[in-house]
Every structure is written in C-alpha cells, then in structure tokens.
Structure 1
Amino acid sequence: MNAIIGFLNTIFWGYVLIYGLLAVGIYFTFRLGFLQFRHFGEMFRCVFGSREGDRDGISPFQALTVSLASRVGTGNIAGVAVAITLGGPGAIFWMWMVALVGMATAYAESTLAQLYKEHGPDGMYRGGPAIYIQKGLGQGWLAAIFAVALILAFGLIFNAVQANSIAEAAAGTLAINKVWIGLGLAALSGIIIFGGIPQIARVAEFVVPFMAGAYLLAALWVLITNIAEVPAVLGSIIGSAFGLQEAAGGVTGGVMAALMNGVKRGLFSNEAGMGSAPNIAAVAVPDPHHPSSQGFVQALGVFIDTLLVCTATAIMILLSGAIPSETNTGVVLTQNAFGEHFGAFGHYFVAIAIFFFAFTSIIGNYAYAENAMIFLGHGSQTPVIALRAAVMAMVVWGAIQKVQTVFDFADASMGLMATINLVAIVALSGTIAYVTQDYLRQRREGRNPTFRIADHPELAPGVSKTIWS
C-alpha cells in the first residue's frame, strides 16, 4: 500500500499538480481581470451583507466559517512546520503565491457551485463539484468519481490527519494515551455531525472566529516583541524561495524543495482548487442573490487561511530559536517555537490551538463529505448514517497512526480530487467569466446584483429555474 500511495504522489505532485495548481490559478487571475486584487473589498461586503440564512440554506458568514473550519487545521500548524523543515523558509513564499492566485481559483469553483446548486431531499441547498460536473459538463461518471474521492479524502483520510495532530499534541503535552484521545474525539465529533450541516454551521459560526482571533493575537504579540528581527526573517523567506541563500535549517533546501513543499502544504491548508469549499458554498443563501457573491466569500477564506494564519505560524517559528530537523518538525517544531516565545505556556497553547483547529476541521470536512454522499446515495439517509459512523472510526484510527503514513494518504487523495476539479473548472471557465461580468456590470451601474436565469437563456441547461427565478 505504501508503494502504491508513493507512486500516486509522484504522479500527482511531481508532474500534475505542482504546475497545474499554479497554472490554473494564474489562468483565472488573468481571465477574471485580477479580480482578487481589484475587488478585494467586495469579499467583505458579500460576507457581511447578511447574517441570516433560511430554511433552505445557511448564511454567507456561516458558509465562510464552515469553510475556514476545514481550511484552518493541521496544515496551518503542523503543515507549515513541515514545509519549513523540508523546503526551508522559502516554502512560505510559495505558500503565499499559491494563496494569491488560489483566491481566483476558489472564487471560480464556488461561483460554479452556487450557480448549479439544487434542493436536496431535505429541502436544503446541495451542490459542489459533483453537481457542476454532472450538470455543467454532462459527465455523470466523472462526477461520481469525484464524489467518491471527496468522501475518501475529507470524510475519512483528512479527518484521520486532524485526529493524528490532536493525539500527538495531547500525548506529548498531557501524557494521555492516544487511544483514549481518539475515542473521546470521536464521541465529541459524533454529537455535532449527527446534527447535520445546520448544526455544524451553528458551531463553526461561534468557534472559528474565536480560535482564529486568539491565534492571530499571539502572532501579533510575537511580531511586536521581535520587530527588529522581522526584516531579516522576511529576507530569508524571499532569498530561500529563489535560491539566493541556503535554506537555513532545512533538511533538503533548494528552490525546487521550497517550491514543492510550499505548494503541497499551501494547497493542503487553503484547499483552493481542490473542490472542497464549493460543497459548503452551495449551501449558502447568497447576499447579494447572485452566484458570484459566494465566490467572493470563499476567495476571502483562502486569504484568511494562508496570508494570515499560516503566516502567523511561520513568523513565530522563524523568529524563535527552534531549529527544524528530521526529529524537530511538524507539531513538535511549532510547540518548541511557542515555548521559546511564551515559555511553558506556549506548549499548552499549541495543544489547545491544535485541538480547536483540528476538531473544527473534522466537522467541516464531514459537511463536505455529506454533500457528496447525498449525491451518490440519491437522497437516501442510510449512506449518510454509515458515513457518520465511518468518520468516527477514522478519527480513532488516525489518532494512533504514524504521522507520515497519514500525510502520504492525504496527499494522494488530495491529488486525485484536485486534478478532477481543476479540469472541470477550466472546462467551465467561460461560464464563470460570463457570470462574473454580469455581477460586476450591475455593480458598476450602482445596482445590488441579482441573478435570474430567465435573463440568461444560454446558461439555462442544468441551472435550477426554481432557485434562480
């Protein structure tokens, strides 16, 4: 199994995604007129335009917090530390680049998810890549493959990754047996996920802003108290990214090591182009009532995840005296860095942060997988209940596995999902550009953008006439 997973990762990350992710992000950045920079303020307007959902969907703010619950996880703590260890400080620069162009990719996929969403068997909005692949491209077989990959990746493997990080941190800090950690975590997860997406949204709406805010405040304190060293750290990030200096502390170093590890860990963290966040974007009641508004919301999610939270972790590691190595990496490296800045409290702070980041990722990941399972099960509740039970089992399994094994499985699953989704959104890029132009034209005219499918007969096939009437 390790040999198979290694081969898949070589194909996906050595040939397909290391270039494909950047290429697609750059493509949408140009095709949409640098939308993520020119209309950055629109992202906040779409998030806070309404805090209300309805019986069919959740609010834009809830959709953002659920997507951040999934995005802001171990990739922001352990993943950043792994990237620095394997690729040197330059890996952080490439994480930034992936995020900046990835904002356009995130916009594109979430706009499509809103456009092609439908009412599920319970009346709630449902959608995501499986739906727009089926309705927009007419490729039901490819949609089914994507849905299976999403369930394997987010419903099962990624949740094992999150449980692994919680167990490692708690076992190292509190000396608790990992089996008990896994069982307790599975029980707590079950309480929430058995309430479905509305329950997950209510929890995320309150927990995510608190956890992200506390983490960023800690980083701000470190930044202020070490302000004299910040220019040198920024210089090392840029210099290492382009091979202008040795990747200080890196096990391998070099431009390609920085690029590959930055892209891999960047995608694992912000998920732009992976086809995950569109699943919750489709469930939102957009405000303005236009597919593009959820695209703007999810583009902001990428910015918050990488440019803020991942950068916070990187700065705190690089400003500390902790030296990355083969043994001092992942969660351990981040905990040691916090220990340098905050003393013994720093170790406990990271353990607490990892719990909140990883736990909210588990429930956010499940929300994505539930959408895919409903697509495959044609509305039957039996597969959904089976998925919930499998998620709890994978949480226990992940808590006792070696971290490298879990990360390798996660990389392979992520690679398959992202490859299918990137092909789909590029094939539908004309539709994305058309919808975007309609939204921006209405803004230029001083109107609150609205979308009625009757005004766009060329898009009518596959788009719900009930939802967009």
Structure 2
Amino acid sequence: MPDFLSFINEILWGSVMIYLLLGAGVWFTWRTGYIQFRYLRHFSKSLKRSLTPQPEGLTSFQVLCTSLAARVGSGNLAGVAIAITVGGPGAVFWMWVSAIIGMASSFAECSLAQLYKERDASGQFRGGPAWYMSRGLGMRWMGVMFSVFLLLAYGLIFNTVQANSVSNAVHYAFNLPPYAIGLMLAMCTLLVIVRGLRGVAKLMQWLVPIMALLWVTASILISLWHLNEIPAVFETIFRSAFGWQEAAAGAVGYTISQALTAGFQRGMFSNEAGMGSTPNAAAAAASWPPHPAAQGIVQMIGVLIDTLVICTATAMVILLAGHDTTLETPNGIHLVQKAMASFAGFWGAEFVAIIVLLFAFSSIVANYVYAENNLIYLRMNSPRNIWLLRGITLVMIMLGTLLSLPVVWQLADIIMALMAITNLTAILLLSPVVRIIASDYLRQRKLGVKPVFDPARYPEIEQQLAPGSWDDVPRQ
C-alpha cells in the first residue's frame, strides 16, 4: 500500500499539482491586478476592520482565526520538517513562493465564497466551494463531488495527521501511551464541537493568536541568540532552492525538483491556499466593509501569517540547529523536538509537544466545522448524521495515534490534491467573476469611498445569488 500511494503521489505532485498551483496563482495575480502586492501595506488596516462586530454573522477576525486554526496545525511543525528532510533547505524557499502566489488564489476562492453565501435555518451564513460551484457554475454535481472529497479529508484523513503528530510529540516528551493521548484529544474535541460554529469561532479568536505568538516568540529568541548564523541559513535556503548547494559543498545534495515539490506539497498542506477549505470559513463572516473582496483580503493575511511567519519560524529553529541534529529522522515532529532540545535542553522537546498539541487541537476542531458545513450542503445534516460525523471524527483521532506516519501523510497528500484540482478548476472557470469583484473593490477604493457591493450593478451575477444574502447591504 505505501508503494502504491507513493506512486499516485508522484503522478499528482510530480507534475499536475505543481503546474496547476503555479498557473492558477499567476493567473489570479494578474486577473486581480496583483492584489496581494498592492494591498500588502493595507493588511494592518484590514485586520483592524475585521474586529468590527456584526449582528448578522461572525466577524471577519473570528472567521480568520477559525481558518487559521485549520491552517496552523502539525503541518507548520512536522510538515516543515518533512519538507526540509525530503527537499532540503531549499524547500523553505518554495514554501514561500507557494504562499505569495497562493495569496491570489486564496483571495479568489474566499471572495467567491462571500459572494455566493446563503443563510441556514438558524440565520447563520454558510457557503464555500460547493456553493459557488452550484450557484456560480450551475454544477451541483461538482459541488457534491467536492463536498465528498472534503468530508473524506477533513472528517477523516487530516484528523489522523494531526493526531499522529500529537501522539508522537507527547509520547517523546512525556512518555504517555498513544491511546491515552488519543482519548484526551478526542474528549477535548467533543467538548468544543458540540458548541457549533459560533462557539468554535469565539474560542479560536483567543486560542489561535496565543498559540501562534508563543511559537513565533520562541523562534525569534533563538534567532536573536544565533544572530550571526542567520545570513548563512538564508544563503543555504536560496542555494538549495536552485540546486546550487551541492555544487558549493562538493557533496551530494538536493535537486531543484525535490525542493520545489516538497515545498509546494507541505506549503499547500499548511496554508491551504487554493485547496477549497478556507472558503468554508470565509463565507460565514458578515464582511466589513460589506463587499466580497474585503473577506478575500482578510483571508490573504491568513496565508501570510501561516507560511511566511509560522512556517518560517519552524524552519529557522530546524536549520539553526542543523549542526546539532540530523535530518535523517523519518518523523518530522521528532526532528523539531530535537532541534529545540539542542537549544534549551529536554524542556525544549516538552515545549514543542505542548505547542503541537495546541496547533493540532485547534486544527481538528476547525476541520470538523468544515466537514459539518459540507454536510449541510449535501442536505444530510439531520441530528443523527451530525452525531455520526462527530463519532467518526473522534474515532479517526484515536486511530491517528496508532497509524504509521508515512501512510497518513501519503493519504493526506492524495486527498488534498483531489480537493485542490476540483476547487481550482471551479475558480478558474469563475475567474471573470473574480475579476469583477476585484475591479469593483479597487474602483471604490480609488474613489476614496467605503467599498459596498451592489448586486444590481451586475444583473447576471445577481440572478445567481441566494435570496437575502446581500439584501441588507446599502445600495450605492
């Protein structure tokens, strides 16, 4: 089975996904007027506006933290370590590239999710790729297919990845048995997911900033402690990214293909740009200002924070400890723990275990929210089915603590690729709508007015929108 999964991964990630991700990212960068670069200096203002309370739905900040909860998981620790192990230090560079280009794809998918959102029976906004496939493209079959992929990914496989990393990290640091770790994680997850989307969002708006700040602060302190080594680390990253490191070192090194593939795989698993997961959270916001592009811009911040900040923090810890630790270990989270322990003694491994526990817990909870959201799209959200999904989620957490790591990561890569292919196809087909959203937002910004989306200006789009989704927005 591992050999078969490896073969499928090689086909998907060796060519298809790399070209598709690069192509979609470059396309939307151009179609949106290079929005991730033009609005980089406005990100702090967008983040500040996202705190504005909205009675009709969740605030943009709550939704950002919920999406970050899903993004910031074991991929930011174990995933980065695996990328460096498989692709060398140059994989970090390609993770950065995947994030910068992916910001445009994230803008596109999250803006579309906002545009085509609708209210559920309780009045909460719902939406995501399945909704814009159905309403924007008129292809409900495609939405159903995507929802099935997402349920398999976020209800099953990705939770095993998170639980696996937690089990390995906590067992290494505290010598707790895997079944006890799985049981504790499952019970904590159940206590949170029964509170629903609003309850999860309220918790994540506090938990996510705290846990991210803890990890980034630790990395900054280590970097300052070894400030004289920082230039050499960045030189190694850039040399390895283009296959120059082995020539300079006079030894066997990593190829460009290895670095690029590993960087894009792990970068996408971490920031999820273009994969179609984040739009499920983005649609839940009552965006302010009331324009679909506003939420797209806020979600671009999530990609920036996830990869360029948190993943880089992990990479610096590993690479600065390169003279004290080995890159041959097959277990990514153990590599991070060994690296931290080389700086701070064994309590460093315990600190990493606590961090990965927080990261994975928040990610599992957000994964469940995404899965439940698509159960609603499939019109299968009866109380019995909701509890069945919760039960399966808890079982997969338990199994994740016992499965072998290579199989878990390989399954995650395959399902991630299938989701991304479906979602990227949809947003590319809807790129004219993305262009309209971006142009309308930029036009109003240039005029110096608060951007407000008026569906009446675009009759063809207005016909596709859910009744009541934009009726409360003041007309221009």
Task: Read off the aligned partner of 2:418 and give its amino acid letter.
Answer: L
Name the SS for the 2:287 alignment partner.
Answer: coil
Partner of 1:204: 204
C-alpha RMSD of the superposition = 1.8
After superposition, what is the alpha-carbon deviation per residue over 1:35-87, rounded to whole angstroms, capped at 9, x for unaligned?
A: 10111133333332142554542110011101111111111100101111111
Partner of 1:181: 181
Name the SS for the 1:451 alignment partner.
Answer: coil
CA distance in 1, matches of 2:37, 2:55: 34
Identify the match of residue 381 of structure 1 among 367, 380, 383.
Answer: 383
After the TM superposition, which of the residue ranges 255-264 and 53-62 deviates more from structure 2? 53-62
Q: Does 1:339 align with 2:341?
A: yes
Within 5 Å, which residues of 2 pair with 1:123-138? Answer: 123-138=123-138
Partner of 2:361: 359
CA 1:7/1:243 → structure 2, altered by over 3 Å: closer, same or farther? closer
Contact 1:36-1:103 within 8 A present in 2 as well = yes
1:14 is displaced (CA, Å) by 1.9
After the TM superposition, which of the residue ranges 47-56 and 63-72 deviates more from structure 2? 47-56
Partner of 1:393: 395
Within 5 Å, which residues of 2 pair with 1:411-422? Answer: 411-422=413-424
CA distance in 2, matches of 1:249, 1:403: 33
Within 5 Å, which residues of 2 pair with 1:316-327? Answer: 316-320=317-321, 321-327=323-329
CA distance in 1, matches of 2:324, 2:277: 34
Contact 1:74-1:165 within 8 A present in 2 as well = yes
Partner of 1:232: 232
CA 1:383/1:4 → structure 2, altered by over 3 Å: closer, same or farther? farther
Contact 1:85-1:250 within 8 A present in 2 as well = no
Contact 2:90-2:240 within 8 A present in 1 as well = yes
Q: Does 1:305 align with 2:314?
A: no
1:461 is displaced (CA, Å) by 2.4
CA 1:319/1:443 → structure 2, altered by over 3 Å: closer, same or farther? same
Task: Read off the aligned partner of 1:266 and give its amino acid letter.
Answer: G
CA 1:82/1:237 → structure 2, altered by over 3 Å: closer, same or farther? same
Partner of 1:114: 114
Structure 2: 5+ residue runs without aligned partners? 472-476
After superposition, what is the alpha-carbon deviation per residue over 1:259-282, rounded to whole angstroms, capped at 9, x for unaligned?
A: 110010000100000000000000
Q: Does 1:255 align with 2:256?
A: yes
1:383 is displaced (CA, Å) by 2.1
1:24 is displaced (CA, Å) by 0.8
1:465 is displaced (CA, Å) by 4.2
1:218 is displaced (CA, Å) by 0.7
After superposition, what is the alpha-carbon deviation per residue over 1:281-307, rounded to whole angstroms, capped at 9, x for unaligned?
A: 000110000000110011110000000
Q: Does 1:31 align with 2:31?
A: yes
CA 1:101/1:337 → structure 2, altered by over 3 Å: closer, same or farther? same
After the TM superposition, which of the residue ranges 254-263 and 7-16 deviates more from structure 2? 7-16
CA 1:159/1:308 → structure 2, altered by over 3 Å: closer, same or farther? same
Contact 2:245-2:253 within 8 A present in 1 as well = no
1:251 is displaced (CA, Å) by 9.1
Partner of 2:474: none
Task: Read off the aligned partner of 1:433 and give its amino acid letter.
Answer: R
Partner of 1:284: 285
CA 1:238/1:100 → structure 2, altered by over 3 Å: closer, same or farther? same
Task: Read off the aligned partner of 1:363 and give its amino acid letter.
Answer: V
CA distance in 2, matches of 1:360, 1:69: 5
Task: Read off the aligned partner of 2:273 and give its amino acid letter.
Answer: A
1:10 is displaced (CA, Å) by 2.8
Partner of 1:264: 265
Partner of 1:21: 21
CA distance in 1, matches of 2:56, 2:326: 48
Partner of 2:143: 143
Contact 2:52-2:288 within 8 A present in 1 as well = no
Contact 1:46-1:287 within 8 A present in 2 as well = no
Contact 1:161-1:410 within 8 A present in 2 as well = yes
Percent identical pairs in the alignment equals: 45
Contact 1:186-1:392 within 8 A present in 2 as well = yes
Name the SS for the 2:77 alignment partner.
Answer: helix
Name the SS for the 1:69 alignment partner.
Answer: helix
CA distance in 2, matches of 1:44, 1:175: 42
Hey, which bits of structure 1, 4+ residues long, moved more than 6 A?
Answer: 247-252
CA distance in 2, matches of 1:220, 1:323: 19
CA distance in 2, matches of 1:50, 1:266: 25
Name the SS for the 2:246 alignment partner.
Answer: coil
Task: Read off the aligned partner of 1:114 and give its amino acid letter.
Answer: Q
CA distance in 1, matches of 2:305, 2:334: 24
Task: Read off the aligned partner of 2:312 and give its amino acid letter.
Answer: T
Contact 1:322-1:333 within 8 A present in 2 as well = no
Name the SS for the 1:317 alignment partner.
Answer: helix
After superposition, what is the alpha-carbon deviation per residue over 1:306-340, rounded to whole angstroms, capped at 9, x for unaligned?
A: 00000001011111134433326401110111011
